[in-house]
Structure 1
């Protein structure tokens, strides 16, 4: 694979990871309207894809019925690729996912991505409610990926067929926050997306595993890695850091085991967390995985991130409370791409 040392972020595609955040005092209906508006804007601004992530039992995240929401976003846009970042495959029967994404690809041909993860995307009790049994283990993930590929093939080896789904060319991505999916993606010759935006410590080791062990396939002849990063951009550093307190509060609530809706920015965040909690949040949202600031600060941070990770594509998560500020953050990135 060629090095991208000399590339700038203008030559690396930028994409969007949306968690369909539910703001404090709001509701999922408004969240879905905001996500559609964001997708329409980033499509116009030249972003490559718009992915939605499966989470459950999270008061601040509305993307639990991920396949349904992908259809909503694809229907509100015209060209941008729309997909899952990701579907947590152990939560589902593979046939159902094949049918759902076969339906999406049939409705929006050439625009659907299927990103797959192996974590439950929730707590153990909710995982049980989703699966009715915990006999479905994340360790069965490789077998489930094989099943999905077979359902999408033109000549499936099973009598059970995915209709729609059979014979459709739906890109499958493997997602990860550790080395497991990196190795599997390398072995199968699939594109890989790493969740650096919440697992920065594991980023370089996982990407090295993927690139060092990659085997070419009908899908790819060389590795293709998309890497996640949090970006909160504003016209001034002061406003960007103020906006970032919503994201910090969200991670704090998760650490406390009390997930909440996305809270509005606050002026004095040191009043709401202890020194230990602050250190824990900053470990997950460190400078490697979270870029906060004005256009020049973000430009430098993003360039450093691309040089360090050698990312082929960057997918950006922006947990920002006010919709106009969220749109402005992505607009600043679009202006940099120009």
Structure 2
């Protein structure tokens, strides 16, 4: 199902950044946060639309667990780019607390805050229990929590409990997903939708089509708005980019092995690390349609092909690159393509 975007190129739509605040081998969270500030300032100058941070827990290589705190830190070091969550895992939290946190962020940085919501725990079951103290309330209660959150932000909330700050503030709520559940809910509620195609590529097109087909206009939006996530690792040559991408491949390999680690430096030859079966599994997860690795021309072709396939209104890019200079250069190359 195509929209008015069908004749556009990716250069006609906004590009954004998803940051996992990677903690690299030999470093720590403090340095990761300094790197996130540096990256945010860099991509703001390059013209990227928004900068989102993702909630994960109990992961040595991801520093964005206190997502709201980090959003405030990044917003305070940038000027105009939208800053938000990609996303907050709502089942982990009391809805009122999220309303108050994002009400505070919006009050500090008016017109710049996005609230992207996910329903997965962003962790294992033991960590989910540590966060919630119970597993009785789970992802299946997500629609009710979204309703509660919208009520807290409304001008005339039904609840006797008021979110202060939060009540009456215009904070865009996005629903995020890697299956059709949030696609259906976003369509039903008339909300923008972002699909995690950077790690669930095979479900992307069906989910986006389902969202567009079932979209119900709301007071928030009169037509659907879909964003897709992609991994991009760009360098001055295809060979250099492929070498840099090995850090990302090692990260996925370690996840498959159930091995916790910080983001590892690249290696020359992955065949010295993985078995043929592991290689096939990692390559299936890092589908070349949504994990685009190469020089400027290769990246340009890959991004445009996936934009045409999905008819996306916006694309959000994540780049798990060990070397910070190379990470900055990767986004610089994307910026050159945008221009």
Same fold (TM over 0.5): yes
Alignment of 1:11-30 (within 5 A): 11-30=12-31
- Which residue matches 2:40? 39
1:322 and 2:316 matched? no
Q: In structure 1, how many angstroms separate the alpha carbons of the residues matched to 2:31 and 2:168? A: 36
Query: 1: CA distance between counterparts of 2:58 and 2:27?
Result: 17
Report the TM-score when normalising by structure 1.
0.99
Hey, what does 1:154 align to over in structure 2?
155
Provide the rounded CA distance (Å) in 2 between the counterparts of 1:247 and 1:310: 26
Question: Can you list the C-alpha shifts for 1:94-117, whole angstroms capped at 9, x where unaligned?
Answer: 000000000000000000000000
| In structure 1, distance between residues paired with 2:313 and 2:64 | 26
For residues 130 and 252 of structure 1, the distance between their equivalents in structure 2, rounded to whole angstroms, comes to 27
Kindly state the Cα deviation for residue 158 of structure 1 after the two structures are TM-superposed.
Answer: 1.0
Look up the match of 2:311: 310
Structure 1 equivalent of residue 168 of structure 2: 167
Do the aligned partners of 2:3 and 2:311 also contact (CA within 8 Å) in 1? no
Task: Within 5 Å, give how 1:1-338 maps onto structure 2.
Answer: 2-338=3-339
Shift of 1:214: 0.3
Supply the distance in 2 between the matched residues of 1:308 and 1:233 (Cα, whole angstroms).
Answer: 21
State the Cα distance separating 1:3 from its structure 2 match: 3.6
Shift of 1:293: 0.2
Whole-angstrom distance in 2 between the partners of 1:325 and 1:311: 27
SS at match of 2:24: coil
Q: Distance in 1 between matches of 2:208 and 2:99?
A: 28
**Structure 1 residue 2, shift from structure 2 partner:** 2.7
Secondary structure at the counterpart of residue 5 of structure 2? coil
Q: Deviations over 1:146-189 (max 9, x none)?
A: 00000000100011000000000000000000000000000000
TM-score, normalised relative to structure 2? 0.99
